[in-house]
Amino acid sequence: MEPLPPPSLVASLLSPPDLVVAPSTSLTLVAFALGGAALGTLSGLTPGLHANNFALLLAASASAIPGSATAVGAAMLAAGVVHTFLDVVPALALGVPDAAMAATALPGHRLVIQGRGREALRLSAVGSGLAVALAVPLAVPITRLMTAIYPTVRAHLPLLLVGVVVLLIATESSSRARVGGVVCLAVSSTLGAVALDVSPSAPLDAGGMLAPLFAGLFGAPVLVDAMDGAGVPPQADALLAMPERDLGLTALAGSGAGALVGYLPGVSSAIASVVALPAVPGRSGARGFLVATSGANTANTIFALFALLALGTPRTGVMVALETAAVPRSLPVLLSTAVFASALAFPVVVLLGDGYLRVVGRADYTKLSVAVLSLLTVVSYLFAGLVGIAAFLVSGLIGLLPPRFGTRRVHLMGVLLGPLALGV
């Protein structure tokens, strides 16, 4: 178990910061943040890539990059934040099933099938933007609370994760779905226990097993199931059909759920969004789920940053990269970078998202799905070698299970939850 930082460190992190920075340093940080935002845009729009991949690559090559560790850290963080805004674009555009399968489709895909993809993009961007705006002021009191209770949380982490698993199963809609959830959790947990400790020989030094596992569990099955789908239909206007009050409440719920992700290992944004659903107005439907998920995904970065600074516990790949590259733990610089990256990402979703939907809508959907599956295979090889390809294939088969049981894909997060809860 990692040691807790001394109280004086926690106090210094949460006290009013000194924001005086030399102009030349500020320009350098902005330039690196813009570069990181570009990487985050690339990773967000590319299926199978994650900002964590770029961040770990940057960490591995940090000593060769002309710039301070703080500047490199700004690039890593900006990439991570922008990715959380942009990853909704391929998620909405790819893997859209036939309209007859809409009942079993992901909530965002149901909106695309209804011709509301442009609205879905904006709902996601608003959810992420509002979550950041809410997370920044909430992070200080929540971090104070977590600093106080963290020894207890750490001592009872397996029990807490079991409670999360029980909550996921209990909130399923039917007995069949709950049985399916148990099966998916058990199988994915076994997969995680076997695969996560493997140290593969891969072309990229900053590789690892998470890339092929997640590509197989959550990427490939969606594409395979939608292979015979009609793809992206023509999309209507971008008018938001969600009341402002519901939008605000849902973003708040997502931001609060993002705090859970930021401080607890193994708890993903998808799990956090399920936890947030009871606070989402029922009439919001797929729109509310999309806003809550996007909010939790982006707010997670803010809370994970505070968890790293105050508790010394990296909870995301980007935070691991910051720690690996020995980035100075300057709260004002890093937090300002995160907010700056959020402001950049919001319009990029709108500017690039609509065009992305149009391009995919005109493409041969079967050929496009095969091309993306091939890309995921290449990514798996780059990050984990031949072992990664094997893991990608096995996890892809496991990823086909949830829709067969009518259960949520979030149970496949057992790949992380299971080994953590069992102490494997």
- For 4, other C-beta atoms within 10 Å of its C-beta total 16
Distance CA 403, CA 373 (A): 19
Longest dimension (CA), the chain: 61
Q: What is the pLDDT of residue 62?
A: 67
Six-digit token pair at 142?
């929540």
Interatomic CA distance for residues 128 and 84, integer angstroms: 8
pLDDT digits (tens, 9 = 90+) for 387-410: 999 999 999 999 999 988 988 888
pLDDT tens by residue, 114-166: 889 899 999 999 999 998 999 888 888 888 888 888 888 888 888 888 888 88
* Mean pLDDT value across residues 70-88: 89
Instruction: Kindly give the interhelix angle for 244-263 and 285-311, rounded to the nearest 10 degrees.
Output: 40
> How far apart are alpha carbons 251 and 240 in whole angstroms?
14
pLDDT of residue 184: 94
pTM for the structure as a whole: 0.84
In angstroms, what CA-CA distances link 118 with 111, 122, 233, 239, 330?
9, 7, 12, 8, 38
Residue 187: pLDDT over 90: yes
Given a cut of 80, is residue 171 above it in pLDDT?
A: yes
What's the Rg (C-alpha) of the chain? Answer: 20
Q: Which residue has the tokens 């072992």?
A: 387
Residue 110: what pLDDT? 85
Give per-residue pLDDT as tens, 343-360. Answer: 999 999 989 999 998 888
- Enumerate the domain spans of the chain: 7-11+20-422
Instruction: Please tell me the predicted confidence (pLDDT) of residue 399.
Output: 93
Are the CB atoms for 184 and 402 separated by under 8 Å? yes
Match 């789908």 to its residue by tokens: 229
Q: 148: exposed, middle or buried (C-beta count within 10 Å: 0-12, 13-18, 19+)?
A: exposed
Identify the band that residue 207 occupies on the pLDDT scale cut at 50, 70 and 90.
Answer: low
Question: Mean pLDDT score of the chain, rounded to an integer?
Answer: 82
Using CB atoms within 10 Å of the CB of residue 33, give its burial: 0 to 12 exposed, 13 to 18 middle, 19+ buried: buried
The dihedrals phi and psi of 4, each to the nearest 5 degrees, come to -80, 145
**Over residues 210-229, mean pLDDT:** 83
Count the residues in the chain. 424
Q: Which two tokens stand for residue 73?
A: 């850290």
> For 237-254, how does the pLDDT look when each residue is reduced to its tens digit (9 = 90+)?
888 888 888 888 888 888
The pLDDT of residue 18 is 44
Distances from the Cα of 298 to the Cα of 212, 264, 309, 325, 408, angstroms: 23, 16, 18, 22, 21
Higher pLDDT, 299 or 278: 299
Residues 350-377 have a mean pLDDT of 88
Tokens of 373: 């599956």
Q: Is the pLDDT of residue 217 over 60?
A: yes
Evaluated on CA atoms 343, 118, 84, 248, the torsion sign reads positive
Binning pLDDT at 50, 70 and 90, where does residue 1 land? very low
The reported pLDDT for the residue numbered 99 is: 44
3-state secondary structure 36-78: HHHHHHHHHHCCCCCHHHHHHHHHHCHHHCCCCHHHHHHHHHH
Does pLDDT of 92 surpass 90? no
Query: Tokens standing for 146?
Result: 């977590």
Lowest-confidence segment of 45-49, 93-97, 168-172 by average pLDDT: 93-97
DSSP letter at 234 equals -
Q: Which of 246, 273, 281 is nearest to 257 (CA)?
A: 273
Cβ burial of 351 (10 Å; 0-12, 13-18, 19+) is exposed
Q: How confident is the model at residue 176, as a pLDDT? A: 93
CB atoms within 10 A of CB 170: 9
Dihedral sign computed on CA atoms, order 288, 293, 298, 302: positive
Query: Are 88 and 292 within 8 A, CB to CB?
Result: no
